[in-house]
Structure 1
Amino acid sequence: MNQKAVTNSTCLIGLKRIGRLDLLPQVFEVVFAPPTVAVEVQSKLTWLTVQSVQNKSVIATLKTQMDGGEAETIALAMELDDVILILDDKKARRVAQQIGLKVIGTVGMLLRAKQQEVIPEISPLLTALLQVDFRISDAIVSSIVT
């Protein structure tokens, strides 16, 4: 059940810090990111499809509510057909859901990796992310671990 995803930098940076960037291309058939996100990550990822957003006015509108990388990520997801949007910022997630986009966070991506048997368990990865100062709410951690 491979799908396409559009990711913001937060997921990429978190996975990079724990040495598990390999998970995204195993979970999703294609992973897109806007150029701003690719620059933020500071890694050349051969599997990451960097694609510019065509509708710049959507980006400008979204930037009134969030950071530029998140705005571009949402705008790109709007332009692509049938993608999962990987966003961790609460406000950006809310806006994306109001627009009607399918949104998951980094933890949601890890859940997909477990469901697809890419990883045997999630807890060690959550622990590793927390150790590198990746912010995950206590409620999410306890719901996954218990």
Structure 2
Amino acid sequence: MPNVIVSDTSCLILFYKIGELDLLNKLYGKLYITDTVLKEFNQPVPNWIEIVQLKTDVDKGLSGYLDAGEATSIALALEHEGSLLIIDEIKGRKAAKEMGISVTGSLGVLIASKNKGHLKTVKPIIEKIQKTNFRISENLIERVLDKANES
């Protein structure tokens, strides 16, 4: 597992909304976020989430086409070679991958959590997600359930 896990805002908001924020702690131990992500999240963060100051200004070049949270999260992941970035937005994922950053999303966190034994099934969590404003297609749900051996 990568030694640095960076999270964008969407995953934090989603897991907070459905009451599963602690799942990130169980799976990864510690998460790193930027000040910008903290402001976007707009909730108190537990002590296993560390707010890190960027050492570079790579985010400035990304902010033209990504939101500030995504841009700073990608910049933070770039500062830590071999890190994993949790990011859901397609444009942000594409940009991160093009820069050589390993990415996963909120649904990938669910699959990994099941594989590590932190969840018995992902389907009830997906049902909670569907009650939020998080957009998830039926096709993607099927793929996630298939990867979790729940189809």
Query: What TM-score do you get using the length of structure 1 for normalisation?
Result: 0.94
Cα distance, 1:12 vs structure 2: 0.4
Report the alpha carbon displacement of residue 81 of structure 1 after superposing the two structures with TM.
2.8
Partner residue, 1:49: 50
Instruction: Check the 8 A contact 1:8/1:33 in 2, yes or no.
Output: yes
Residue 119 of structure 1: aligned partner: 119
CA contact (8 A) 1:2 1:28 kept: no
Q: Hey, what does 1:32 align to over in structure 2?
A: 32
Structure 1 gaps, min length 5: none
Amino acid at match of 1:89: E
- CA distance in structure 2 between the partners assigned to 1:16 and 1:69 by the alignment: 17
Q: How far does residue 3 in structure 1 lie from its aligned partner after superposition?
A: 4.4
Aligned residues of 1:3 and 1:30 also touching (Cα < 8 A):
no
- Equivalent positions of 1:1-146 (< 5 A) are 3-45=3-45, 46-56=47-57, 58-145=58-145, 146=151
1:2 CA drift (Å): 7.2
Letter in 1 for 2:134: F
Percent of aligned positions that are identical:
30
Q: Which runs of 5+ in 2 are unaligned?
A: 146-150
SS at 2:21 equivalent = coil
Divergent runs of 4+, >4 A:
none
Alignment root-mean-square deviation, CA: 1.3
Aligned length: 145
Equivalent pair of 2:4/2:80 in contact (CA under 8 Å): no
Q: What is the TM-score when the length of structure 2 is the normalising length?
A: 0.91
Q: Distance in 2 between the 1:30 and 1:20 partners? A: 15
Larger strand fraction of residues: 1
Paired with 2:6 and 2:112, the residues of 1 have a C-alpha distance of: 15
